[in-house]
């Protein structure tokens, strides 16, 4: 497999796996929080609320997971996108910028486990900022590609816009169950499409 194809394969494999893992975590956390509230006969509070004690470990793990994987992804993209201290491939640098926003998102996820450390919903606000950066990155990737590759990136762009909208509703409608599930669903779509791009890049 040519070097460019190899880089595309592993790049989409890391990104797609990271996105699908987050979507799975969000789905489980939204379902578990709803189930706990129902068992306690308490009013449901969505993920934008401060983290209840029974879910602190899950949110802490998600935050650490974001920081570790995003740091690895950003490092790889910067290494691939620079040469002699100068930018050699702007697309890699754009990917690095996209990964970089998940590091503060992970930090705020960890801090949100303690109610007094960060304002309510701050972690979701930074996550929304990361989604907005994703929209800009994928929009910039639409030009100069094959028709199939352009279609894949256009579908990813639509999915990112949808998950950003769902996250916005999630932040406003704090007792909604469907909003966080919608965020998780539309989060999984770019992951699936990213892995599909990964398979398209693989030619034995």
Higher-confidence residue of 174 and 56: namely: 174
* Contact present, 201 and 7 (Cβ < 8 Å): no
- Looking at every residue in the chain, the average pLDDT score rounds to 81
Per-residue pLDDT at 64 exceeds 60: yes
Mean pLDDT of 76-95: 84
- pLDDT value of residue 144: 76
Extents of the domains making up the chain: 3-201
Per-residue pLDDT at 12 exceeds 70: yes
State the Cα–Cα distance between residues 18 and 165, nearest whole angstrom: 21
Per-residue pLDDT at 1 exceeds 60: no
Higher-confidence residue of 204 and 108: namely: 108
State percent of the chain over pLDDT 90: 13
The 3 state secondary structure assigned to 115-178 is CCCCCCCHHHHHHHHHHHHHHHHHHHCCCCCCHHHHHHHHHHHHHHHHHHHHHHHHHHCCCCCH
Mean pLDDT of 98-121: 84
Nearest to 102 by CA among 137, 126, 138: 126
- pLDDT value of residue 7: 65
State the Cα–Cα distance between residues 153 and 164, nearest whole angstrom: 16
Which single residue is written with the structure tokens 């070097």? 3
Mean pLDDT of 35-59: 62
User: pLDDT tens across 117-162, in order?
Assistant: 788 788 888 999 999 998 988 888 777 777 887 888 889 899 999 9
pTM of the model: 0.81
Q: How confident is the model at residue 51 (pLDDT cuts 50, 70, 90)?
A: very low
Residue 98 burial (C-beta neighbours within 10 Å; 0-12, 13-18, 19+): buried
Whole-angstrom CA distances from 181 to 21, 24, 32, 87, 143 are: 14, 10, 12, 39, 32
């Amino acid at each position: 497999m040519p070097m460019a194809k190899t880089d595309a394969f592993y790049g989409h494999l890391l990104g797609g796996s990271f996105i699908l893992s987050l979507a799975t975590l969000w789905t489980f956390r939204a379902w578990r929080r709803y189930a706990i509230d129902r068992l306690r006969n308490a009013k449901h509070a969505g993920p934008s609320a401060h983290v209840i004690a029974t879910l602190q470990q899950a949110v802490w793990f998600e935050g650490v997971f974001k920081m570790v994987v995003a740091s690895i992804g950003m490092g790889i993209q910067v290494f691939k996108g620079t040469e002699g201290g100068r930018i050699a491939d702007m697309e890699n640098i754009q990917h690095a910028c996209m990964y970089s926003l998940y590091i503060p998102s992970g930090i705020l996820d960890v801090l949100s486990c303690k109610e007094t450390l960060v304002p309510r919903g701050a972690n979701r606000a930074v996550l929304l900022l990361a989604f907005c950066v994703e929209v800009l990155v994928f929009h910039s990737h639409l030009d100069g590609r094959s028709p199939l590759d352009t279609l894949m990136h256009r579908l990813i762009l639509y999915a990112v816009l949808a998950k950003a909208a769902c996250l916005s509703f999630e932040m406003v409608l704090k007792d909604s169950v469907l909003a966080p599930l919608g965020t998780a669903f539309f989060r999984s779509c770019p992951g699936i499409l990213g892995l599909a791009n990964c398979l398209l890049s693989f030619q034995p």
